Chain A
Amino acid sequence: MADLPRLAVLFAPRGSATLRDLLRACDAVAEPVIVLPPDCPTALVRMAERLFPLVVSWPDGSPPEFQADAVVTFHDAQLERAAALAEALGTPRPEAAALADKLHQRRVLRAAGLSRIDALAVESPNDLDRAVSLFGYPCVLKPRRGSGGERVTILRGPADHPKDAGLHGLLAEQFIPDARHPGGGWLADYVSVETASTAEGKHHVLATFGKLPVSSDPGGGIRTTGDVLPHGLSAECAARVRDHVLDCLDALGLRQSLSHTEVKLSADAPEVIEVNCRLGGHLSRLTSRRNGTDLVRLAVLAALGEDLDDLARRPPDRSDALDPKDPLHRSDPLDPSDPRDPSGGPAVAGVFVPFGAPGVVRSEVSAAAVRQLPGVCSVDELARPGDDRRSTGGAAANVVLQAPDLARLQPVLAGFLTGLSELFAADGLGESPWVRHLADRLECRHAR
Chain B
Amino acid sequence: MELDAVIERAWCAVLAVDRADDADDFFQLGGDSLRAIEFIERVEAASGRIFPVETLFLEGTLAAVKSSLTDQLRTAEGPADG
Contacts and interface: CB of A to CB of B under 8 A. Distances in A.
A24 interface: yes
Nearest to B40: A50
A384 B33 contact: no
Contacts of B40: 47, 50
A23 B33 contact: no
Contacts of A366: 16-18
Contact of A367 (B30, B33, B53): B30
Nearest to B27: A20
Interface string B18-35: 110000010111101110
Contact of A20 (B16, B33, B37, B38): B33
Chain B, interface size category, equals 20 to 34
B34 A47 contact: yes
Contacts of A43: 33-34, 37-38
B15 interface: yes
A377 interface: yes
Contacts, number: 64
Interface residues of A, number: 26
Contacts of B16: 366-367, 384
B30 A47 contact: no
Interface of A: 18-20, 23-24, 27, 41, 43-44, 46-48, 50-51, 366-368, 370-371, 377-382, 384
Contacts of B18: 366, 368
Contacts of B57: 19-20, 23-24, 51
B22 to A, nearest CB: 14
B54 A23 contact: yes
25 contacts: A18-B32, A18-B33, A20-B27, A20-B33, A20-B57, A23-B57, A43-B33, A43-B37, A43-B38, A44-B34, A47-B37, A48-B33, A50-B53, A367-B30, A371-B28, A371-B29, A377-B28, A378-B25, A378-B28, A379-B30, A380-B28, A380-B30, A381-B30, A381-B32, A384-B16
Nearest to A44: B33
> Chain A binding site: helix, strand, loop or mixed by DSSP?
helix
A24 B58 contact: yes
Contact of B15 (A20, A24, A44, A367): A367
A378 B57 CA distance: 15
Nearest to A385: B16
B44 to A, nearest CB: 10
B13 interface: no
Most chain-B Cβ atoms within 10 A of its Cβ — which of A24, A50, A384?
A50
Given A48-B33, A380-B28, 8 more contacts: A44-B33, A367-B29, A367-B30, A368-B17, A378-B28, A379-B30, A380-B27, A380-B32
